[in-house]
């Protein structure tokens, strides 16, 4: 087994209610505006979207590009560094799709109590 204990580095980056969904959409579309993200992620508030985007930016996962126009236009895209997260997300996603059924059953059983 080659596991050390650095897994939390990624986990921390992705911990936050909407973080993985945000990354997912940016990975899919390449570049997205603030309002597009908001539309693509039903239920998220501007505040949380802003917060998470700022965190990604601070971690250099995404780039933020502002167009000095009226009305404002801001585009978000993966940084080169952030692109290295893609294989990670794919791996996580593979597992999720493969085991979605099992976890669903668990949830139901937990609700039943």
Partner DNA sequence: CAGAATCCACGGTGATACTG
Partner DNA sequence: CAGTATCACCGTGGATTCTG
Taking the complex as a whole, the smallest distance from the CB of residue 2 to DNA amounts, in Å, to: 26
User: Could you tell me which stretch among 31-39, 43-51, 65-73, 82-90 binds a second copy (CB under 8 A)?
Assistant: 82-90
- The residue among 39 and 91 lying less far from DNA, judged by its C-beta, is 39
Residue 38, C-beta contacts closer than 8 angstroms, at least 6 positions apart: 44, 46, 49
Q: Does 58 engage in binding with a second copy (CB under 8 A)?
A: yes
Residue 49: closest CA among 89, 15, 18 = 18
User: Could you tell me which stretch among 21-29, 31-39, 45-53, 68-76 binds a second copy (CB under 8 A)?
Assistant: 21-29
Residue 37: closest CA among 59, 14, 64 = 64
């Amino acid at each position: 087994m080659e596991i050390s204990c650095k897994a939390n580095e990624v986990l921390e980056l992705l911990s936050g209610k909407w973080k993985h969904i945000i990354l997912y959409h940016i990975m899919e579309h390449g570049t997205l505006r603030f309002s597009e993200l908001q539309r693509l992620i039903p239920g998220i508030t501007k505040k949380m979207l802003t917060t998470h985007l700022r965190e990604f930016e601070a971690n250099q996962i995404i780039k933020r590009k502002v167009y000095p126009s009226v009305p404002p236009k801001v585009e978000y895209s993966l940084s080169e560094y952030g692109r290295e997260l893609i294989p990670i997300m794919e791996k996580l996603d593979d597992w999720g799709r493969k085991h979605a059924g099992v976890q669903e059953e668990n949830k139901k059983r937990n609700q039943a109590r």
